Amino acid sequence: MEMPFHRFAGEIRNQNSRLRPNYGATGGSQAVSGDGGTSDLYLVCSDSSLSVMPFDALKFFLLDLFVLLALAIFTPTCTANAQSQSDRDKTPPRQSPAAKRGLDFSVGPRGLDSLSYNGQSLFHFSQNGQLQPRKSVFRAALDMLLSRSPSPVATAKKQADTIDLGYPWGRISCAYAKQGDKITMRIEISNSSAEPLNEFSLRLMELNFPSVPRGGTLEAGMFGFGFKGPEWPLYRYPPSIPSVADPQFVVPIVRVDYGTAALNFCSDDLECSVDVPYSTNLLAGTSYPFIVTCRDIKPGISKAFNISLRFGPASARVQDLSADVLERYAKKYPFQIDWKDRRPIGAIFLASSGINVVTNPRRWVLNEGKIDITTDEGKAAFREALLKLADNSITVLKDVNAQGMITWDPEGQEFLGSCYYGDPRLTPTLAPETDFKADRGMSAIDEYFDKFRRAGLKVGVCLRPQQITMMDGKPVQGAANNQQAAQVLKDKLAYAKKRWSCTLFYIDSTVAVTANSLDPDVFKAVADAYPDVLLIPENESMRYFAYSAPLNSYVHHKVTSTPAGTRMVYPRAFSVLMAPDGDRPEDHDALVTAVRHGDILLFNGWYNNEGVAKIKKLYENARR
């Protein structure tokens, strides 16, 4: 079957580009925070008060550069101060004996005095092991440059390997213990102030590695760039992948490979975020602070958290060192998708931004855009063209043995600034010609979907978590937020399910007003309400895979599988991989493997093309 509107061949790629913007090889920038917003709250300890300071991830990076420049300017003074402090504490840095194998550490009054693994000391100064509240960047710079940082009051130890630090707002205690090559830290924070500690960050230590470490979290990022796992230098991870492992989104493990050994930085009880956010010596890239962030410590309340650093040989895998944490996370946030059909899915676009015909304001691609919806005769012609496209699409889908199709735009694309609309309820309003019945009892759009269902194919539409408001007769997309997005999606889904029996739902623009991916609980709520549908969100975090099959783009970003980190937690997780042009020779084996492991390929399903033939071959090879 020849493509019926070859003049718009270039627009086909434009449609896919609009579906998933090309962010390039290194990905798009994303502000990431623990609460789904761009601003985190960090405790700032001053001489006489306790306050909470807003923190933006991008600004934090820029501010860090300021501090590091300041450090470089005042290097002689800083070095002298560090040496003086070292003399006062009488705990100079020491190298563990070369013969000492495994993990070795000692505890001082304010934290660790020493830490080594297989004879390699990981502290540059003895102060590197001091546990302390993390301060704002500006305050840390001022304290360092002006030498007016207040010290915590260290009280007498109640038991061995335990520290107890007092502050004007409360206390921090930490009990260190050794279990094989694992150092555990049980941290208790007591808030005796009148203000809640909504987010409280602690620097546990700063480690200095013998070479630039590689690693990061097990998160692939909102666009899936990290699908192969944390394999980049620790100070240079892709911008769309957060450095913090927040258990609300991803298993709280940060992997660090430093050549001679490896370690996993873990929140053992899944109660804290763990983070290795930046290097403190940018030129060398070998020193890193290890940060935990705990939440919701109300006045008069104490909370305990369990953290660990797990060491192993360079060949040790994440699951070798932290299988218990992976298992605990999967039990707390269990995998709940029951979607056995993994055959390909066809994407259908009924309209195009490249159509500009006065009598075709919805930009329908039918009849090469030569549509007139201003007359009954033109509406009847639109109806016939729409149903003909359905027949052609069914032939293509059947040839590939597809499970079904998703129609992105039954509402048309008249107002490009709000497309894709993602609200099937507005189809009669935004595209009233779709309700044209002529002498038949079924509207054009209803008969369109009915044709696919009668052919034994699943049907679906595009949804968005944003709510549209009509302003001066034009649709305007509102901002999505975690509090309302689930209900918005459920209302839209219910309409499409009832009217057209839809079960496949691509969910576009799954970002909050802050530009962060929506909270995974949004998709859990929708999946709980509709367990018999497949949700395909545009963006992702690890926990999305427990409730959905996120979309990743092979054609734009060369993502060829569900993220490796995700499958450590959810072995049955799967993705929908956008591959409208099929595969490239160098990626053929990878996509065949992806299909064998349950990933679903998405292709252009409304006309015959070379990509369709490649999709068919990929599935044939996967069955061998």
Residue intervals of the chain classified under CATH 2.70.98 are: 39-332
CATH class of domain segment(s) 6-23+344-622: alpha beta
Spatial distance between the Cα atoms of 208 and 366, rounded to a whole number of angstroms: 63
- Contact between residue 333 and residue 521 where contact means Cβ atoms under 8 Å apart: no
SS3 state of residue 361: coil
What does the pLDDT read at residue 389? 98
* Positions of CATH 3.20.20 in the chain: 6-23+344-622
Per-residue pLDDT, 229 = 84
Residue in the block written with tokens 């956010």? 277
CB 425 within 8 A of CB 414: no
Using a 10 angstrom Cβ sphere, with 0-12 exposed, 13-18 middle and 19 or more buried, the burial of residue 87 is exposed
- Candidates 3.40.50, 2.70.98, 2.120.10, 1.10.3470; correct CATH number of 39-332? 2.70.98
Of 546, 212, 579, 267, give the one whose Cα is nearest residue 402: 579
Alpha carbon 490 to its chain's center: 22
Q: How far apart are CA 209 and CA 279, in angstroms?
A: 11
Backbone angles phi, psi at 404, to 5 degrees: 170, -165
DSSP secondary structure code for residue 597 in this structure:
T
Which strands, in side-by-side order, build the sheet including 111-117?
103-108, 111-117, 120-121
pLDDT below 70 — which residues of the chain?
1-99, 135-158, 440
The two three-digit tokens of residue 429, written as one number: 């309003």
Contact assessment for residue 226 and residue 280, using Cβ atoms and an 8 Å cutoff: no
**Helix, strand, coil abundance in the chain, percent, nearest 5:** 30, 25, 40
Instruction: Report the distance separating Cα 257 and Cα 230, nearest Å.
Output: 10
Cα–Cα distance for residue pair 325/393, rounded to 1 Å = 47
Instruction: Classify the C-alpha dihedral 399-403-408-412 as positive or negative.
Output: positive
The secondary structure of residue 287, as a DSSP letter, is E
CA-CA distance, 447 to 443, in Å (whole number)?
Answer: 6
* Spatial separation of the C-alpha atoms in residues 455 and 539, rounded to whole Å: 31
The pLDDT value given to residue 82? 35
pLDDT at position 485: 96
Spell out a b/e string for 405-441, using b for 16 or more CB atoms within 10 Å of the CB, else e.
bbbbbbbbbbbeebbbbbbbbbbeebbebbebeeeee
Cis peptide leading into 420, omega within 30 of 0?
Answer: yes
What's 34's DSSP letter? Answer: T
Helices (H), 102-195: 137-146
> Of how many residues is the chain composed?
624
pLDDT at 146: 45
Q: What are phi and psi of 472, to 5 degrees?
A: 55, 40
Q: How many CB atoms lie within 10 A of CB 142?
A: 16
pTM exceeds 0.85: no
- DSSP label at 501? -
From 242, 316, 228, 312, select the one nearest 273 (Cα to Cα). Answer: 242
Which runs of E-coded beta strand occur in 86-130? 103-108, 111-117, 120-121
What is the Cα–Cα distance from 239 to 244, expressed in whole angstroms? Answer: 12
Residue pair 310/177 in contact (Cβ under 8 Å)? The answer is: no
Amino acid 153: pLDDT: 67
Tell me the three-class secondary structure of 378-429, residue by residue: HHHHHHHHHHHHHHHHHHHHHHHCCCEEEECCCCCCCCHHHCCCCCHHHHHH
